[in-house]
Amino acid sequence: MNKRFVPYDFRNRDFAVDRRLHPTRNAEKGTGCAVTDDWEIIIPATYSRLVKYYSGDLFSFFRDAFGICPRVRFVEDPIRELKNPTRKIFLLTEEHQSKICISSEQSAAFYLNVTEDSILVVGKSERGTAQGVYYLEDRMRLRGDATVPLEKAEHAPLFSPRMTHCGYELDTFSDAFLAATAHAGMDAIIVFTGHPDMNIHGFEDPDALWPGTGRGYCDFNNLIWRAEGYGLDVYIYSQIKCDMHPDEEGAVAYYEKSFGTFFEKCPKLKGIIFVGETFEFPSKDPHTSGIRFQLKPKTDRRPSPGWYPCCDYPDLLKMVKTIIHAHSPSAEIVFWSYNWGWVEKDARLALIKALPRDITLLVTFEMWEYLKDSQGGSYKIADYSISFPGPAQVFIDEAKMAKQCGIRLYAMSNTGGRTWDIGSAPYLPVPQQWEKRYEALRLAKEEYGLCGLMENHHYGWMPSFLDLFAKNAFTTNRMPDDALLEAIAKRDWGDYYREAIEAWRLFSEGISHVIACNLDQYGPYRCGPSYPLTFTQTKKDLSFPSAPWAWQKGFGIWNPIYSDPVFPNVDNSLMRLRHVEKVADCFGRGVSILKGILTNEHPEASNPCREQVAVAEYIDCCYVTAANVMRWNIAKQLLLTPFDNGRQSDVVKLLQALSIPSCDRTLLAEYMNTVALQETQNVARALACQQVDSRLGFEASMEYVFDPDTAAWKNKVTQESLLLLKQYCSNLDQ
């Protein structure tokens, strides 16, 4: 029986400690070091909040997962305890013993020695010990019992930081979320801000940089303090206005009032992230309008400064860096080149050459790449997508220059499991495709010195079965990717693990066919099954129901009118339809496999398995919506667009793609009615998925873009469109 959809219910489930600790009943047992009730967890007597957390976390893991309650003992002399290690788990750092010296300089590195009757975890720092604890928990969770494989090895993260936004509520970081983030191997969080006491999540603020964005109170120092207790750093993502050129008189005082005040109040911030679109200033670069996007006259066709690698950006960065470092000398300045990947290579590289050497360059990994499909059609990766693992040539060019200049390099890599391929799904279950991205990032580390990752942007991160897969991929002495994927499948799907892996393979194949173009990423891919089928309505005729506190309310970052005119480039429209049909077919077949497992399984199959099926089916629904939107739009253009004999060949191709025998308006209208009916049924299917997992349809900056209210709105618009279609055809008959 389907349960009732309760909005935001996922906040009580996905971040609850007891859910995270319980292994599934299908996990595969194994031999090794078996922990029992008569064991002890040994911790140095001098301990911090982080030590208190991870030692208690390990105890709770044993208790809640296995009913085992080892004694937790704080000791003054760990070295003496090491002389009698039997039935003890030691949670130490390098400073607490003298024999183990960790070669890695990463603070989250750890050494692990598991024998048949003892476990030793030695961290480079307390953060390393914490990761060692989570490593033990991960291994026991894979096995389903309190045994740890015998091992003697050092493990260290390949990348630091691994930064994430919050996926369960924009800029709101509960302790449970911070704990989950640390367990996933990430080591930093990102908060949007435009003011020292404010984040972006909240109600509308007329003084915000971007009109319509919200602002709410944020105690950054308290957030920093809480994050430290889980081994996490805090970066801020700047939306602070920069309306003075660094050469202007009074510029230092102007920026001291904003950036200086921020870091004076919050000196323990790890760093600040600048990106063109929110770090615009009145540049003197003649290639630009010289005025930020929000103030630029519509008649000026030049890009605003945030969308061009302005020659005076280094001057602004140097001034802001000097001001920030006066208050916080170690604060990291991260400069992201996202907005001008479209610009010629020489201009982009000239900017990098001129940057201060003691900042960090952040480059998007997969964007701006041009690809060809099997029939010769060309398309571009417009925004964040896993369809192309990367790296793009833009990344390669900028990474090479950063290495040449000795500038620290990070990648915006979407490795947190989400992209703009589907904006309202908590993660994309395409592990074989993620594996290609992980391998490409590891190679980029070797070739260009890539050392840090921004794992997601805007939509944030939510836990999934992919987290362990990614953490392992970004750690030294890792399990082979294929072996770990099989272990995860066995943990979650038991005897049906091969079928689950095949379903994931189909999903991975499907996602590789996605065409990540603006038309769809800022359209049906953004909001999923709530995307409307419109006829002659305009955006002004539509009013999307959304939460008043959403950062992006209504149609904030998506366009409800599908704007493909079709006839200027019929081949492109057909290519996108052909691709999305392939994607939907692969997801549909994979979902059928997973549903078959649930049918064959015991009626009490684990909720995580049911949720995995719901996520995959919801994504399938999103791609079905996109295909229906494209079909509806092609038929509409055939109906509404006058065309002469010169376009006859294009018309024939479009009709063949829709399997319509002729361009008869009655046939076209019947086809559109059929598409509308299919889409209404698809909406109902997506709603059923949401009853299983309330994360579906939610996106942190927009809140729910698909739920019962938005589904009702979409169906209402569909009926209005069918009425307009009927009236249009009737008028032609008169």
The single residue listed with the structure tokens 């700047």 is 238
Instruction: Please report, for residues 370, 512, 567, the alpha-carbon distance to residue 376 in angstroms, rounded to integers and kept in the order given.
Output: 12, 16, 19
As a whole number of angstroms, the distance between CA 447 and CA 317 comes to: 27
Q: Which string of b and e fits 69-102 if b means at least 16 CB within 10 Å? A: ebeeeeeeebeebbeebebbbbbbbbebbeebeb
As a whole number of angstroms, the distance between CA 633 and CA 507 comes to: 26
Q: Which of 406, 428, 408, 409 is nearest to 417 (CA)?
A: 428
Query: Does the structure show a pLDDT above 90 at 89?
Result: yes
pLDDT at 691: 96
pLDDT at 211: 62
Question: Who wins on pLDDT, 576 or 211?
Answer: 576
**252-267 residue pLDDT tens:** 999 999 999 999 999 9
Secondary structure (3-state) at 630? helix
Query: Does the structure show a pLDDT above 60 at 212?
Result: no
pLDDT at 436: 98
Residues 150/115, Cβ–Cβ less than 8 Å: yes
DSSP 475: B
DSSP secondary structure string for all residues of 478-511: PPPHHHHHHHHHHHHHGGGHHHHHHHHHHHHHHH
**124-152 residue pLDDT tens:** 999 999 999 999 999 999 988 899 999 99
Q: Record the tokens describing residue 419, joined without a space.
A: 């992209």
Residues 555/543, Cβ–Cβ less than 8 Å: no
Q: Which string of b and e fits 539-550 if b means at least 16 CB within 10 Å? A: eeebebebeeeb
Tell me the pLDDT band of 196, cut-offs 50, 70 and 90: confident
Residues 351/313, Cβ–Cβ less than 8 Å: yes
Secondary structure (3-state) at 122? strand
Query: Does the structure show a pLDDT above 80 at 208?
Result: no
The single residue listed with the structure tokens 């994309």 is 428
DSSP 231: T
The residue-averaged pLDDT of 605-617 equals 88
Instruction: Kindly state the greatest CA–CA separation across the chain.
Output: 98
Instruction: Please report, for residues 319, 526, 639, the alpha-carbon distance to residue 645 in angstroms, rounded to integers and kept in the order given.
Output: 62, 37, 16
As a whole number of angstroms, the distance between CA 169 and CA 551 comes to: 11
Tell me the pLDDT band of 604, cut-offs 50, 70 and 90: very low
Sequence-distant (≥ 6) Cβ neighbours of residue 446 within 8 angstroms: none
Question: Who wins on pLDDT, 684 or 48?
Answer: 684
As a whole number of angstroms, the distance between CA 558 and CA 253 comes to: 38
* Least confidently predicted of 186-190, 206-210, 343-347, 596-600: 206-210
pLDDT at 701: 87
Q: Which parts of 270-382 fold into alpha helices (H)?
A: 313-327, 345-354
Question: Who wins on pLDDT, 582 or 373?
Answer: 582
Secondary structure (3-state) at 277? helix
The single residue listed with the structure tokens 């059929």 is 674
Q: Record the tokens describing residue 270, joined without a space.
A: 């790890």
User: Would you tell me how many other CB atoms lie within 10 Å of the CB of residue 678?
Assistant: 15
As a whole number of angstroms, the distance between CA 106 and CA 123 comes to: 10
pLDDT at 268: 97
**321-343 residue pLDDT tens:** 999 999 999 999 999 999 999 99
Mean pLDDT of the chain: 93
Homologous superfamily in CATH for domain 162-485: Phosphoenolpyruvate-binding domains (3.20.20.60)
As a whole number of angstroms, the distance between CA 440 and CA 391 comes to: 7
pLDDT at 603: 47
Sequence-distant (≥ 6) Cβ neighbours of residue 731 within 8 angstroms: none
DSSP 295: T
**11-37 residue pLDDT tens:** 887 665 555 555 565 666 678 999 999
The single residue listed with the structure tokens 């009702």 is 712
- CA 237 to chain centroid, in Å, comes to 16
Secondary structure (3-state) at 705? coil
Q: How many residues does the chain have?
A: 734
Secondary structure (3-state) at 364? strand
Instruction: Please report, for residues 192, 194, 274, the alpha-carbon distance to residue 210 in angstroms, rounded to integers and kept in the order given.
Output: 12, 10, 15
As a whole number of angstroms, the distance between CA 155 and CA 421 comes to: 33
pLDDT at 21: 55
Q: Is the dihedral of CA 302, 306, 309, 313 positive or negative?
A: positive
Helix axes 481-493, 466-473, angle to 10 degrees: 160
The residue-averaged pLDDT of 670-683 equals 98
As a whole number of angstroms, the distance between CA 539 and CA 534 comes to: 10
Q: Domain map of the chain by residue range?
A: 10-155, 162-485, 517-733
pLDDT at 1: 43
pLDDT at 443: 98
Instruction: Please report, for residues 472, 481, 511, the alpha-carbon distance to residue 413 in angstroms, rounded to integers and kept in the order given.
Output: 16, 18, 16
As a whole number of angstroms, the distance between CA 697 and CA 617 comes to: 12
As a whole number of angstroms, the distance between CA 295 and CA 281 comes to: 11
The single residue listed with the structure tokens 């709530």 is 530
Q: Which of 683, 723, 674 is nearest to 706 (CA)?
A: 683
**442-473 residue pLDDT tens:** 999 999 999 999 999 888 999 999 999 999 99
The CATH code that applies to domain 10-155 is 3.30.379.10
Q: Record the tokens describing residue 248, joined without a space.
A: 């202007």
Relative to beta strand 33-34, strand 147-148 is antiparallel
pLDDT at 733: 74
pLDDT at 120: 97
**481-528 residue pLDDT tens:** 999 999 999 989 988 999 999 999 999 999 999 999 999 999 999 999
**529-576 residue pLDDT tens:** 999 999 999 999 999 998 888 888 889 889 999 999 999 999 999 999
Q: Is the dihedral of CA 40, 43, 48, 50 positive or negative?
A: negative
Instruction: Please report, for residues 179, 304, 418, 569, 703, the alpha-carbon distance to residue 675 in angstroms, rounded to integers and kept in the order given.
Output: 45, 41, 29, 23, 28
Q: Record the tokens describing residue 129, joined without a space.
A: 């010990």
pLDDT at 438: 98
Q: Which string of b and e fits 167-178 if b means at least 16 CB within 10 Å? A: bbbbbbbeebbb
Residues 234/223, Cβ–Cβ less than 8 Å: yes
Q: Which string of b and e fits 317-326 if b means at least 16 CB within 10 Å? A: bbbbbebbee
**HEC sequence for 179-230:** HHHHHCCCCEEEEEECECCEEEEEEECCCCCCCCCEEEECCHHHHHHHHHCC
Which secondary-structure segment (H or E) carries 176? Answer: helix 175-183
As a whole number of angstroms, the distance between CA 413 and CA 418 comes to: 10
Q: What percent of the chain has pLDDT over 90?
A: 82
The residue-averaged pLDDT of 619-641 equals 97
Q: Is the dihedral of CA 711, 713, 715, 717 positive or negative?
A: negative
Tell me the pLDDT band of 214, cut-offs 50, 70 and 90: low
Q: Record the tokens describing residue 463, joined without a space.
A: 């836990």
As a whole number of angstroms, the distance between CA 536 and CA 543 comes to: 15
